[in-house]
Amino acid sequence: MRDECDTRISDALMAWYDRHARVLPWRVPPGSNQTPDPYRIWLSEVMLQQTTVAAVQAYFHRFTARWPTVQDLAAAQDDEVMAEWAGLGYYARARNLLKCAREVSRMGGFPRTREALQTLPGIGPYTSAAIAAIAFDQQETVLDGNVERVMARLFDEHTPLPQAKPILTGYAASLTPPHRPGDHAQAVMDLGATICTPRNPACGICPVMAKCAARLAGTAPSLPRKTRKPAKPVRMGIAYLGRRADGAWLMERRPLHGLLGGMLGWPGSEWAEMAPTDTPPVTAQWRAVPEEVRHTFTHFHLRLSLRVAELPMSADGMFIAAHEFRPAALPTVMRKAHALAAAHLNISEVS
């Protein structure tokens, strides 16, 4: 934290933000007399981790309608929260969200400093700074993908990420003003999201174009530099979608840690680069579905073969009753598998 900053750039940014701030459901508009609700700021920041604003909005509305306060969320059941999070991805966020809500509820409210916030589950360097600045008006500096890009361009920094992170943090800190640090943070992120975009930045309408070293050098579109990531391997697997005569589905709760941790899923093989062996969870007349489910995760492509069967009422395993089965409560790959299997079984079910 520092007391002086480059006011030429930050003033221009703030003036732009006052006129062009995005309207977002968790945001207090610039010039408003409202006080930000730390619960809503925290919830939005966690949802926005590696997730676009467009994808978050509907989830934010559902969560805040169902759980208006952190105490409400703290009192929720784990399964309800995981089901409500389904489809948003990075499911460790949902588990940490609940842990965090319960700690905060027990403490009687959110701590106000970056240091204290960062000890809470799911709150790291970025999110702690964002909450401290936006919800509690503290002079903290956020560094996310937007800020990295804006700083790399403003200062024409060619050091590749992630090596450049400390350098870019220094630049960002040098611009953070003592007044309205939260609006400043949101201004930089709005600039990165709407003007200083990864490709084809709109330098011609940028409020800080006169101070941008990369625009002067003509290097803006190529910044920030990043080390190339290796190509994703393809993994294969088999999933078994068994349905009883009463409409109940054979499912399993995935282990708490690891891929899709804590979510409902279909029993099946491991997902590996070697072709899987066909080992059904229960004995039945399994039929192969001719098409595959294709899905891409963070670090691999999955090609999932499906087997379907009608199971006897006496079959062992965890069954989800027809009236409790909701495709929307499944992670996307499991929802895709169900949609394909249902089409193959010619089941007419409302999703």
The residues that touch DNA, with contacts defined as CB under 7 A, are: 22, 24, 26-27, 44-45, 48-55, 86-92, 96, 121-128, 130, 144-146, 149, 186, 189-190, 192-193, 198-200, 226, 228-229, 231-232, 258-261, 295-299, 301, 331-333
* Cβ neighbours around 191 below 10 Å, total: 24
Q: How far apart are CA 100 and CA 118, in angstroms?
A: 11
Of 37 and 310, the one with the shorter C-beta distance to DNA is 37
> C-beta of 162: minimal distance to DNA in Å?
8
Judged by CB, which is closer to DNA: 159, or 282? Answer: 159
| Closest approach of DNA to the CB of residue 142, in Å | 8
Q: Could you count the other beta carbons within 10 Å of the beta carbon of residue 175? A: 23
Choose the catalytic residue: 4, 45, 140, 324.
Answer: 45
Residue 145 or 247 with smaller CB distance to DNA: 145
Q: Count the neighbouring beta carbons within 10 Å of the beta carbon of residue 204.
A: 8
DSSP code string of 160-219: PBTTTHHHHHHHHHHH--SSSHHHHHHHHHHHHHHTS-SSS--GGG-TTGGG-HHHHHT-
Q: How far is the CB of 19 from DNA (least distance, A)?
A: 17
Could you tell me where the beta strands, DSSP code E, fall in the chain?
234-244, 249-253, 264-265, 287-296, 301-311, 318-320
- Quote the tokens at residue 306: 């499906």
What minimum distance in Å lies between the beta carbon of 345 and DNA?
Answer: 22
Q: Is 45 a catalytic residue?
A: yes
CB 156 within 8 A of CB 223: yes
CB 344 within 8 A of CB 306: yes
Is 128 or 139 the residue whose CB approaches DNA more closely? 128
What are the residue numbers of the active site? 45
